[in-house]
Amino acid sequence: MNALIALALAAAQQTALPNSVSVSRTGEDWSSVTITLGFDAEAGDSLALRFPEQWGPAENLTQLVSEVRVSGPDGPLAFERAGASLSVTALPAGPIEVRYDIAQDYEGEPQWGAQRLPGMRPVLQPDYAFFAGGAVLPDFEGAINEVRVSLPEDGAFNRPVDEAGESAPLSYTALTNGLFAFGAFRMETTDVDGLALRSAIRGDWALDDTTLHAVTADTLEQAASLFEDPAFAQYFVMVTPLPDLPQGSAVIGSGFDEAFFLLATPNADPENLIHTITHEVLHEWIPRRAGQTDEATDPARAWFTEGFTEYFTQRLLLETGRITLDEFAANMDALWTAYRTSDVNTLPAEALNERLFDSEQTERLPYQRGALLALHWDTILKAEGDEGLTRVLANLIDRADALEAEGHARTLSDTALHAALRDALGERFDADYQHYIVEGGLIDLRTLTLPECLEADAHAHLRIKPGYGALEACAAGIVGK
């Protein structure tokens, strides 16, 4: 999953410049943490911040915040707080600290039925804690500069820290796209061919820690090659158990900057774990390396951020030999079948954007639409002698690199995304986008352009054509070889 809180960091008149963020236990255990934001102010500066109210499906997050304190060089400062907003109209010159505590607003471990998705709200237990930066760190109205993060010895997040627990400077935006883990995790750093892979793992899994590290590192390398992009030098992975289900298993993933987490029931099978690892790693490129999207409106482009990621997940699993061509066809057919039988498969984009988290069917619809269209468009481009959608992504990454080299943020607007797909596909993109995404037209597998070895059978299921003899060549064509 790619659901991160939007950051409204508008450069304005305020000049409060955070340069340190620290996380520590409030008491003797991890059931409550204290977050301290430190910055220097000039006399007369104003401070305005807003605590997060939603991160992904987690809502009403402001109620986790308590014991807010603001202090200056001479002691406590008066402030106004109204709901999520906090303000100080005139700061003294010198160092300013904003402190507040975070604790769960429910009893015990996360449970199915008690939260929208267990573990997506901050989890703070006596022996361990984890949370997303966007779920606990406020937005500032004003210029946001580099910050250093300070953590206790048994803490980790998605950037390395030195022996004193302090990170190198990073942007405040990157910090709010961060992932934090504390306490009773198995924390390890593994060097894999120059990649510093750091992990925080709880529980026993169908993949042992060594295999999980190897799958993650290999997927990072393969994805970097796929999109013609330099490999990462460091990466962070967190894995923690979900409560058991009465039947079946579950794996939830969420991607962050150079990091992801897996929340899984202990009975999760290795194939599901590997699939989710691959999906979350690919989010580093779709969309982050291609450019940060406007996360406040990301439901509107989840057909790309999630749908394309799911398609390339299946492609990469096939390329690495983790699934066979039969399994690729079966996986895409399962996605198609879930779409075809969904009660919401003709929901127009505007309605879907408002209802994305209403149900599993609405959440999965962008994955299904985007993956099916990606298979269709990728096959069309390859049949015309093009490199396919990998070239579209590589061009978007080059565009984001150029923006960054000119001192601009790596952003990906809908205009730029649509232009890149239009450059590759021409008017076919506009027609398909309008009909299938905007209007919610029903995708028919039998009218899609499919790899030459695949077909829709009489029951509209995707399968390998009976008697097709060049399966290796067809598989190579799907993965772009």
Q: Cα(245)–Cα(146) distance, rounded to whole angstroms?
A: 43
Angle in degrees, CA 368, 369, 372, rounded to 5: 80
Say whether both 314 and 459 belong to one domain.
Answer: yes
Whether the pLDDT of residue 423 is over 60: the answer is yes
pLDDT of the residue at 87 = 94
Whether the pLDDT of residue 18 is over 60: the answer is no
Interval 211-227 mean pLDDT: 95
In a domain, 21, yes or no: yes
In a domain, 101, yes or no: yes
Contact 375, 332 (CB under 8 A): yes
pLDDT of the residue at 233 = 94
In a domain, 83, yes or no: yes
User: pLDDT digits over 454-475, tens only?
Assistant: 999 888 899 999 999 999 999 9
Whether the pLDDT of residue 215 is over 70: the answer is yes
In a domain, 77, yes or no: yes
**What is the rounded average pLDDT for all residues in the chain?**
91
Angle in degrees, CA 145, 146, 151, rounded to 5: 135
In a domain, 206, yes or no: no
Whether the pLDDT of residue 12 is over 60: the answer is no
Interval 425-435 mean pLDDT: 97
Domain of residue 439 covers: 289-478
Buried b / exposed e across 75-88, counting CB within 10 Å, b at 16+?
Answer: eebeeeeeebebbb
Give the model's confidence band at 144: pLDDT under 50 very low, under 70 low, under 90 confident, else very high. low
434: number of Cβ within 10 Å: 12
Note the Cα 449 to chain centre separation in Å.
30
Q: Cα(356)–Cα(311) distance, rounded to whole angstroms?
A: 20
Whether the pLDDT of residue 353 is over 50: the answer is yes
In a domain, 186, yes or no: no
User: pLDDT digits over 56-107, tens only?
Assistant: 889 999 999 999 999 999 999 999 999 999 999 999 999 999 999 999 999 9
29: number of Cβ within 10 Å: 14
Interval 274-302 mean pLDDT: 93
Q: For the domain that residue 338 is a member of, what is the CATH number?
A: 1.10.390.10
Number of independent structural domains in the chain: 2
pLDDT of the residue at 174 = 85
Q: For the domain that residue 40 is a member of, what is the CATH number?
A: 2.60.40.3650
In a domain, 171, yes or no: no
In a domain, 250, yes or no: no
Whether the pLDDT of residue 143 is over 70: the answer is no
pLDDT of the residue at 4 = 24
Residue with tokens 């955070």: 18
Angle in degrees, CA 267, 313, 244, rounded to 5: 15
Rounded to 10°, the helix 309-319/471-478 angle is 140
The secondary structure of the chain, three-state, reads CCCCCCCCCCCCCCCCEEEEEEEEECCCCCCEEEEEEEEEECCCCCEEEECCCEECCEECHHHHEEEEEEEECCEECCCEEECCEEEECCCCCEEEEEEEEEECCCCCCCCECCECCCCCCCEECCCEEEEEHHHHCCEECCCCCEEEEECCCCEEECCCECCCCEECCEEHHHHHCCEEEEECCEEEEEEECCEEEEEEECCCCCCCHHHHHHHHHHHHHHHHHHCCCCCCCEEEEEEEECCCCCCCCCEEEEEECCEEEEEECCCCCHHHHHHHHHHHHHCHHHHHHCCECCHHHHHHHHHHHHHHHHHHHHHHHHHCCCCCHHHHHHHHHHHHHHHHCCCCCCCCHHHHHHHCCCCHHHHHHHHHHHHHHHHHHHHHHHHCCCCCHHHHHHHHHHHHHHHHHCCCCCECCHHHHHHHHHHHHCHHHHHHHHHHHHCCCCCCHHHCCCCCCEEECCCCCEEECCCCCCHHHHHHHHCCC
User: pLDDT digits over 248-284, tens only?
Assistant: 999 999 999 999 999 999 999 999 999 999 999 999 9
